[in-house]
Protein backbone atom coordinates (compact mmCIF):
# COMPACT_ATOMS: atom_id res chain seq x y z
CA UNK A 1 0.00 0.00 0.00
CA UNK A 2 1.36 3.42 -0.99
CA UNK A 3 2.58 5.52 1.93
CA UNK A 4 2.30 9.30 1.75
CA UNK A 5 4.01 12.04 3.73
CA UNK A 6 1.37 14.35 5.19
CA UNK A 7 1.71 18.06 4.52
CA UNK A 8 1.19 19.21 8.10
CA UNK A 9 1.44 22.39 10.13
CA UNK A 10 5.00 21.69 11.28
CA UNK A 11 6.09 21.59 7.64
CA UNK A 12 4.19 24.80 6.87
CA UNK A 13 5.69 26.55 9.90
CA UNK A 14 9.17 25.77 8.58
CA UNK A 15 8.34 27.74 5.41
CA UNK A 16 5.99 30.57 6.35
CA UNK A 17 7.59 32.93 8.83
CA UNK A 18 7.00 36.45 10.11
CA UNK A 19 8.66 38.95 7.78
CA UNK A 20 11.53 41.16 8.91
CA UNK A 21 10.53 44.77 9.56
CA UNK A 22 12.86 46.07 6.83
CA UNK A 23 11.13 44.14 3.99
CA UNK A 24 9.86 46.09 0.97
CA UNK A 25 7.91 44.97 -2.09
CA UNK A 26 11.07 44.12 -4.01
CA UNK A 27 11.94 41.54 -1.34
CA UNK A 28 8.63 39.72 -1.73
CA UNK A 29 8.94 38.50 -5.30
CA UNK A 30 7.89 39.59 -8.78
CA UNK A 31 5.28 37.43 -10.52
CA UNK A 32 4.17 37.49 -14.15
CA UNK A 33 0.82 35.85 -14.91
CA UNK A 34 0.17 34.88 -18.53
CA UNK A 35 -3.51 34.08 -18.53
CA UNK A 36 -6.95 34.89 -19.81
CA UNK A 37 -8.70 34.93 -23.16
CA UNK A 38 -12.00 36.20 -24.53
CA UNK A 39 -14.70 35.08 -22.12
CA UNK A 40 -12.18 33.97 -19.48
CA UNK A 41 -10.82 37.18 -18.01
CA UNK A 42 -11.93 35.93 -14.60
CA UNK A 43 -9.22 33.27 -14.55
CA UNK A 44 -6.54 35.95 -14.81
CA UNK A 45 -8.26 38.06 -12.15
CA UNK A 46 -8.50 35.17 -9.67
CA UNK A 47 -4.91 34.07 -10.28
CA UNK A 48 -3.66 37.61 -9.68
CA UNK A 49 -5.68 37.90 -6.49
CA UNK A 50 -4.33 34.59 -5.26
CA UNK A 51 -0.76 35.79 -5.86
CA UNK A 52 -1.33 39.13 -4.16
CA UNK A 53 -3.19 37.72 -1.16
CA UNK A 54 -0.41 35.19 -0.54
CA UNK A 55 2.24 37.88 -0.29
CA UNK A 56 3.77 38.54 -3.72
CA UNK A 57 5.37 41.96 -3.78
CA UNK A 58 4.68 42.80 -7.42
CA UNK A 59 2.22 41.14 -9.79
CA UNK A 60 1.91 41.81 -13.51
CA UNK A 61 -0.71 40.20 -15.71
CA UNK A 62 -0.17 39.46 -19.39
CA UNK A 63 -3.52 39.27 -21.21
CA UNK A 64 -4.93 40.01 -24.69
CA UNK A 65 -5.29 43.74 -25.32
CA UNK A 66 -9.07 43.67 -24.96
CA UNK A 67 -8.85 42.34 -21.41
CA UNK A 68 -6.44 44.94 -20.05
CA UNK A 69 -9.22 47.39 -19.02
CA UNK A 70 -10.98 44.56 -17.17
CA UNK A 71 -7.85 43.58 -15.26
CA UNK A 72 -6.86 47.15 -14.42
CA UNK A 73 -10.36 47.94 -13.20
CA UNK A 74 -10.71 44.73 -11.18
CA UNK A 75 -7.28 44.02 -9.70
CA UNK A 76 -6.01 47.55 -9.18
CA UNK A 77 -2.85 46.39 -7.38
CA UNK A 78 -1.59 44.54 -10.47
CA UNK A 79 -0.11 46.06 -13.61
CA UNK A 80 -0.63 44.74 -17.13
CA UNK A 81 1.48 43.93 -20.16
CA UNK A 82 0.37 43.05 -23.69
CA UNK A 83 0.56 39.50 -24.98
CA UNK A 84 3.09 40.57 -27.62
CA UNK A 85 5.89 40.85 -25.03
CA UNK A 86 9.53 40.20 -25.90
CA UNK A 87 11.19 37.11 -24.35
CA UNK A 88 13.60 39.37 -22.43
CA UNK A 89 10.78 40.62 -20.22
CA UNK A 90 10.53 37.19 -18.59
CA UNK A 91 13.95 37.68 -17.00
CA UNK A 92 12.50 40.45 -14.81
CA UNK A 93 10.48 37.99 -12.73
CA UNK A 94 11.23 35.37 -10.11
CA UNK A 95 8.21 33.33 -11.24
CA UNK A 96 5.88 33.05 -14.23
CA UNK A 97 2.40 31.52 -14.04
CA UNK A 98 1.20 30.24 -17.39
CA UNK A 99 -2.19 28.90 -18.39
CA UNK A 100 -5.27 29.94 -16.37
CA UNK A 101 -8.04 30.74 -18.85
CA UNK A 102 -5.54 30.84 -21.70
CA UNK A 103 -7.96 29.24 -24.12
CA UNK A 104 -7.41 26.79 -26.96
CA UNK A 105 -6.24 29.10 -29.76
CA UNK A 106 -3.53 27.62 -32.00
CA UNK A 107 -1.19 30.56 -31.38
CA UNK A 108 -0.92 29.46 -27.76
CA UNK A 109 1.55 26.82 -28.90
CA UNK A 110 4.09 29.49 -29.80
CA UNK A 111 3.39 31.33 -26.54
CA UNK A 112 3.94 28.23 -24.43
CA UNK A 113 7.14 27.42 -26.33
CA UNK A 114 8.41 30.96 -25.76
CA UNK A 115 7.98 30.61 -22.01
CA UNK A 116 9.43 27.10 -21.80
CA UNK A 117 12.53 28.23 -23.71
CA UNK A 118 13.09 31.18 -21.38
CA UNK A 119 15.44 31.30 -18.43
CA UNK A 120 12.81 32.41 -15.89
CA UNK A 121 13.82 30.97 -12.49
CA UNK A 122 10.51 29.24 -11.77
CA UNK A 123 7.31 28.47 -13.66
CA UNK A 124 3.84 27.32 -12.65
CA UNK A 125 2.01 25.71 -15.58
CA UNK A 126 -1.71 25.11 -15.36
CA UNK A 127 -4.94 24.58 -17.26
CA UNK A 128 -4.87 25.35 -20.99
CA UNK A 129 -1.08 25.57 -21.05
CA UNK A 130 -0.99 21.91 -19.98
CA UNK A 131 -3.49 20.99 -22.68
CA UNK A 132 -1.33 22.85 -25.21
CA UNK A 133 1.76 20.92 -24.12
CA UNK A 134 -0.15 17.66 -24.61
CA UNK A 135 -1.61 18.73 -27.97
CA UNK A 136 1.67 20.07 -29.39
CA UNK A 137 3.81 17.31 -27.82
CA UNK A 138 6.09 19.77 -26.03
CA UNK A 139 7.23 17.27 -23.39
CA UNK A 140 10.89 17.33 -24.43
CA UNK A 141 10.92 21.11 -24.13
CA UNK A 142 9.14 20.94 -20.78
CA UNK A 143 11.79 18.55 -19.48
CA UNK A 144 14.52 21.10 -20.22
CA UNK A 145 12.95 23.19 -17.47
CA UNK A 146 13.10 20.34 -14.94
CA UNK A 147 13.85 21.57 -11.43
CA UNK A 148 12.21 24.94 -11.93
CA UNK A 149 8.67 24.02 -12.94
CA UNK A 150 5.45 23.12 -11.14
CA UNK A 151 2.50 21.69 -13.05
CA UNK A 152 -0.95 21.68 -11.44
CA UNK A 153 -3.30 19.40 -13.40
CA UNK A 154 -6.74 18.25 -12.38
CA UNK A 155 -7.55 14.65 -13.36
CA UNK A 156 -8.78 15.66 -16.82
CA UNK A 157 -5.60 17.56 -17.64
CA UNK A 158 -3.51 14.77 -16.14
CA UNK A 159 -5.27 12.32 -18.45
CA UNK A 160 -4.49 14.54 -21.43
CA UNK A 161 -0.81 14.61 -20.48
CA UNK A 162 -0.59 10.85 -19.99
CA UNK A 163 -2.83 9.84 -22.86
CA UNK A 164 -5.39 7.99 -20.75
CA UNK A 165 -8.81 8.65 -19.21
CA UNK A 166 -9.66 10.66 -16.08
CA UNK A 167 -11.12 7.44 -14.65
CA UNK A 168 -7.68 5.81 -14.87
CA UNK A 169 -6.11 8.82 -13.14
CA UNK A 170 -8.56 8.62 -10.24
CA UNK A 171 -8.26 4.85 -9.98
CA UNK A 172 -4.52 5.15 -9.20
CA UNK A 173 -3.70 8.71 -8.22
CA UNK A 174 -0.32 7.77 -6.74
CA UNK A 175 0.70 5.99 -9.92
CA UNK A 176 -0.54 8.93 -12.00
CA UNK A 177 1.43 11.54 -10.06
CA UNK A 178 4.58 9.42 -10.33
CA UNK A 179 4.08 8.95 -14.09
CA UNK A 180 3.51 12.68 -14.58
CA UNK A 181 6.67 13.60 -12.68
CA UNK A 182 8.68 11.11 -14.72
CA UNK A 183 7.26 12.25 -18.05
CA UNK A 184 7.50 15.99 -17.46
CA UNK A 185 10.44 16.40 -15.09
CA UNK A 186 8.31 18.87 -13.13
CA UNK A 187 7.04 19.01 -9.59
CA UNK A 188 3.49 17.74 -9.95
CA UNK A 189 0.50 18.84 -7.93
CA UNK A 190 -2.42 16.54 -8.78
CA UNK A 191 -5.64 18.22 -7.73
CA UNK A 192 -8.57 16.43 -6.16
CA UNK A 193 -9.56 15.07 -2.77
CA UNK A 194 -6.26 14.54 -0.99
CA UNK A 195 -4.15 16.67 -3.33
CA UNK A 196 -0.86 14.94 -4.11
CA UNK A 197 2.51 16.67 -4.58
CA UNK A 198 5.48 14.81 -6.01
CA UNK A 199 8.86 15.28 -7.67
CA UNK A 200 10.55 12.37 -9.44
CA UNK A 201 12.77 10.37 -7.09
CA UNK A 202 11.07 11.63 -3.94
CA UNK A 203 8.17 10.66 -1.74
CA UNK A 204 4.57 11.59 -2.43
CA UNK A 205 3.15 14.27 -0.18
CA UNK A 206 -0.58 14.48 0.52
CA UNK A 207 -2.61 17.47 1.62
CA UNK A 208 -5.68 17.09 3.79
CA UNK A 209 -6.89 20.68 4.16
CA UNK A 210 -9.86 21.76 2.07
CA UNK A 211 -13.46 20.67 1.53
CA UNK A 212 -16.04 19.97 -1.23
CA UNK A 213 -17.09 23.63 -1.34
CA UNK A 214 -13.87 24.31 -3.22
CA UNK A 215 -15.23 22.36 -6.20
CA UNK A 216 -16.17 25.59 -7.96
CA UNK A 217 -14.95 27.36 -11.08
CA UNK A 218 -11.83 29.44 -10.54
CA UNK A 219 -10.60 27.66 -7.42
CA UNK A 220 -7.60 26.25 -9.29
CA UNK A 221 -6.73 29.70 -10.66
CA UNK A 222 -6.38 31.01 -7.10
CA UNK A 223 -4.18 28.01 -6.27
CA UNK A 224 -1.85 28.74 -9.21
CA UNK A 225 -1.52 32.31 -8.00
CA UNK A 226 -0.59 31.17 -4.49
CA UNK A 227 2.02 28.69 -5.74
CA UNK A 228 3.54 31.24 -8.11
CA UNK A 229 3.70 33.76 -5.29
CA UNK A 230 5.50 31.31 -3.01
CA UNK A 231 7.93 30.47 -5.84
CA UNK A 232 8.71 34.16 -6.27
CA UNK A 233 9.21 34.56 -2.51
CA UNK A 234 12.05 32.03 -2.61
CA UNK A 235 10.40 28.68 -1.89
CA UNK A 236 11.65 25.71 -3.88
CA UNK A 237 9.17 24.43 -6.46
CA UNK A 238 8.40 21.43 -4.25
CA UNK A 239 7.84 23.54 -1.14
CA UNK A 240 5.80 26.12 -3.06
CA UNK A 241 3.49 23.38 -4.32
CA UNK A 242 3.15 21.77 -0.87
CA UNK A 243 2.61 25.03 0.97
CA UNK A 244 0.30 26.27 -1.77
CA UNK A 245 -1.91 23.20 -1.48
CA UNK A 246 -2.09 23.52 2.32
CA UNK A 247 -2.79 27.26 2.44
CA UNK A 248 -5.31 27.04 -0.42
CA UNK A 249 -7.15 24.24 1.40
CA UNK A 250 -7.00 26.11 4.69
CA UNK A 251 -8.45 29.17 2.93
CA UNK A 252 -11.25 26.94 1.68
CA UNK A 253 -11.95 25.70 5.20
CA UNK A 254 -12.13 29.27 6.51
CA UNK A 255 -14.48 30.25 3.66
CA UNK A 256 -16.68 27.23 4.33
CA UNK A 257 -16.85 28.11 8.02
CA UNK A 258 -17.98 31.64 7.19
CA UNK A 259 -20.23 30.98 4.19
CA UNK A 260 -20.97 27.27 4.03
CA UNK A 261 -19.78 24.81 1.40
CA UNK A 262 -22.70 25.42 -0.97
CA UNK A 263 -22.33 29.18 -1.31
CA UNK A 264 -18.58 29.79 -1.30
CA UNK A 265 -16.96 30.88 -4.57
CA UNK A 266 -13.39 31.19 -5.83
CA UNK A 267 -13.28 34.90 -5.09
CA UNK A 268 -13.83 34.07 -1.43
CA UNK A 269 -10.77 31.80 -1.50
CA UNK A 270 -8.51 34.65 -2.55
CA UNK A 271 -9.66 36.73 0.43
CA UNK A 272 -9.46 33.89 2.93
CA UNK A 273 -5.94 33.06 1.72
CA UNK A 274 -4.83 36.20 3.53
CA UNK A 275 -6.73 35.07 6.64
CA UNK A 276 -5.16 31.61 6.47
CA UNK A 277 -1.66 33.10 6.45
CA UNK A 278 -2.63 35.45 9.27
CA UNK A 279 -3.87 32.52 11.35
CA UNK A 280 -0.67 30.53 10.74
CA UNK A 281 1.50 33.44 11.90
CA UNK A 282 -0.72 34.22 14.90
CA UNK A 283 -0.52 30.62 16.07
CA UNK A 284 3.27 30.70 15.69
CA UNK A 285 3.42 33.85 17.82
CA UNK A 286 1.14 32.35 20.46
CA UNK A 287 3.29 29.22 20.63
CA UNK A 288 6.47 31.29 21.07
CA UNK A 289 4.83 33.23 23.88
CA UNK A 290 3.72 29.99 25.54
CA UNK A 291 7.26 28.62 25.33
CA UNK A 292 8.61 31.75 27.01
CA UNK A 293 6.11 31.37 29.86
CA UNK A 294 6.97 27.68 30.31
CA UNK A 295 10.67 28.54 30.31
CA UNK A 296 10.12 31.22 32.95
CA UNK A 297 8.22 28.79 35.18
CA UNK A 298 10.84 26.07 34.83
CA UNK A 299 13.82 28.37 35.31
CA UNK A 300 12.70 31.67 36.89
CA UNK A 301 16.27 32.70 37.77
CA UNK A 302 17.45 32.45 34.18
CA UNK A 303 14.35 34.29 32.98
CA UNK A 304 14.92 37.11 35.48
CA UNK A 305 18.56 37.46 34.37
CA UNK A 306 17.46 37.78 30.73
Spatial distance between the Cα atoms of 76 and 194, rounded to a whole number of angstroms: 34
Per-position pLDDT tens, the chain of length 306: 578 999 999 999 999 999 999 999 998 999 999 999 999 999 999 999 999 999 999 999 999 999 999 999 999 999 999 888 888 889 899 999 999 999 989 889 999 999 999 999 999 999 999 999 999 999 999 999 999 999 999 999 999 999 999 999 999 999 999 999 999 999 999 999 999 999 999 999 999 999 999 999 999 999 999 999 999 999 999 999 999 999 999 999 999 999 999 999 999 999 999 999 999 999 999 998 887 877 777 776 665 555
Q: What pLDDT was estimated at residue 301? A: 65
Domain ranges of the chain: 5-305
What would the CATH number be for the domain defined by 5-305?
3.40.1190.20
Q: What pLDDT was estimated at residue 87? A: 81
Q: What pLDDT was estimated at residue 294? A: 78
Q: What pLDDT was estimated at residue 223? A: 98
Model pTM?
Answer: 0.95
* Burial class of residue 39, CB neighbours in 10 A (0-12, 13-18, 19+): exposed
Starting at the earlier edge strand, list the strands of the sheet with 187-190: 5-6, 205-206, 196-198, 187-190, 149-151, 122-125, 95-98, 30-34, 58-63, 79-82
Amino acid sequence: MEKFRLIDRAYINSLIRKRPSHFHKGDCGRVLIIAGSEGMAGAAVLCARGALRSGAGLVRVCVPDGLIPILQGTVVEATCVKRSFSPEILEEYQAVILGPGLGTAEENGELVERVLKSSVPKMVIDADALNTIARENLFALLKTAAGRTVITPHPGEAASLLGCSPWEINRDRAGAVRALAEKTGAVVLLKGEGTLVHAAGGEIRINKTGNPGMATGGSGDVLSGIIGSFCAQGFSCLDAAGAGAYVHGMAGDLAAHALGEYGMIAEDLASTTALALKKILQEQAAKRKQQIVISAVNDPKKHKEN
